[in-house]
Amino acid sequence: MDRLAPTEPRVLVGDLNVWEEGGPVCNQTPVPSAMQILRDAGNLDGWPSVHGTAEGYTGMWNRNGCGDPNGYLWKRIDQAWSKALPAPVSMIRFGMVTPGACAPSDHAGIIVAYPWPGADTTAPTVALTTPAKGAIVSGATLIAASAVDHVGVTRVGFTVDGASLVEFTSAPYEFRWDTSTVANGARTIGAWAQDAAGNRGYAESITVWVDNPPPPNSPPLASFSSTCVNLDCAFTDTSTDAEGPIAAWAWTFGDGTTSVAQHPTRTYAAGGTYTVSLRVTDSRGATSTATQSVTVAAPAAGPFDFSLSASPNSRSVNAPGRTSYTVSSTLISGTATAVTLSVSGLPAGTTATFDASSISTPGSTTLRINTSKGTPAGTSLLTVSGTGGGVTRTVQVSLVVVHRR
């Protein structure tokens, strides 16, 4: 390049395989001295002249542990240098892919455009005139810019947070920005102006604070379903809120009990129809209530059955004398039914009576045994029987008779 006359335009574009940004990466070290040689010779580095401090990496794709994110490019080795020429008007990379995806090469390429010698290379001057830096804005906010060019401005555009909003081809360059389309907080407004030669100038961006009141809160819609088997009910919340989550649930089950679970269960003490209500509350305090009736019934009773017991299981008596046992019936299934009692196996000279010969189930009574002088000494096995509802159950106890002088 230095062999050309000092005023002769020259351009160097290629894969120079050296770079200067950052520190060692993937066991490779930048070589800033190589690029400084070009810079010291009066050559202009194209990428930073167009993009400033933005990274312009072109190598290397999909090297594990090198780029950020993993697989991304990590060094600017494809470069464009020029001398005796105006700065490039644009410079882009091509062959860009998502890290990890198949790439057309192991590095990206570059395309750089320089102005034709003698062409208009001066960009318009543009400035944002409203709103002011740091302004707090809401609703429809006026955004305006001024733009001038020595030949003429052909287009002016506005951006918010880098996203294009609107463009104009003639003055005035202003519009109303609906701030309700973005979340509250800091927003960056930018503007640019372009002339007929394609030169584009950028305004100094400004930061404003969007502070719109929250929209009116619509209440949730309470609803639920239920499934009941015998006395057991399961409740499922099906409430909805178009604006956000439901924060709380309050159930009443119609029998004096409550719950704050989202999907509760309830076992009722008795059959019947109960009024169940659910009140839901959203994250902003709005409420809604739904009410339903549920009908439950106790399971049908099975056939009557019971068990019979006696205590103690053995008694000793000195004849003539008396002793007693406690006889009890316990309900196993069905409904309470009277049980008639009897006893057999008494030794000679012995009588027996029940305080109550018929007892309910469950229930109990006392069996009283009276022995006489004629009752023989020895052990007898007494059988106590209970009959009710067509069912007979028995229990045995021992009676030991002794004769002491």
- Write out pLDDT tens, residues 203-223: 999 999 999 998 888 899 999
Same domain, 27 and 93: yes
In a domain, 390, yes or no: yes
- Give residue-wise pLDDT tens across range 56-78: 999 899 999 888 899 999 899 99
In a domain, 287, yes or no: yes
Of the residues 210, 241, 273, the one at which a domain ends: 210
Same domain, 19 and 107: yes
Q: For residue 311, give the CATH number of its domain.
A: 2.60.40.10
Give the C-alpha separation, 63 to 220, whole Å.
51
Instruction: Quote the domain boundaries for residue 53.
Output: 10-113
Indicate the residue type of 63: R
Asked if residue 205 and residue 289 are part of one domain, the reply reads no
Among 72-76, 261-265, 273-277, 349-353, the least confident range: 72-76
Looking at the structure, tell me whether residues 200 and 232 fall in a common domain: no
Does residue 161 surpass a pLDDT of 90? yes
* Peptide bond preceding 320 in cis form (omega within 30 of 0): yes
- Per DSSP, the three-state class of 49 is helix
* Banded pLDDT at 365 (limits 50, 70, 90): very high
Beta-sheet pairing, 163-168 with 305-311: unpaired
Give a yes or no: residue 216 inside a domain: no
How far is Cα 69 from Cα 58, in angstroms, rounded to an integer? 14
Instruction: Indicate whether 218 belongs to any domain.
Output: no
331 and 279 in a common domain: no
Residue 97: is its pLDDT beyond 70?
yes
In our burial notation (b when 16+ CB lie closer than 10 A, e otherwise), range 268-279 reads beeeeebebbbb
- 283 and 316 both lie in a single domain: no
Based on the domain organization, do 261 and 186 belong to the same domain?
Answer: no
Domain final residue pick, 276, 296, 316: 296
Contact 210, 134 (CB under 8 A): no
Percentage of the chain beyond pLDDT 70 is 99
Kindly state whether residues 232 and 170 are assigned to the same domain.
no
| Assigned domain for 156 exists | yes
In a domain, 333, yes or no: yes
Give pLDDT, residue 333.
86
Number of domains in the chain: 4
In a shared domain, residues 152 and 83: no
Based on the domain organization, do 184 and 242 belong to the same domain?
no
Q: Is the pLDDT of residue 405 over 70?
A: no
Distances (CA, A) of 182 to 187, 265, 312, 350: 9, 43, 86, 102
- Residue 1, pLDDT > 70, answer no
In a domain, 398, yes or no: yes
109, 18: one domain: yes
Question: Do 265 and 284 touch, CB atoms closer than 8 A?
Answer: no
Same structural domain for residues 266 and 338?
Answer: no
Which pLDDT value is given to residue 25? 86
Average pLDDT, the chain: 92
Does a structural domain hold residue 1? no
**Given 160, 178, 210, which residue is the final one in a domain?**
210
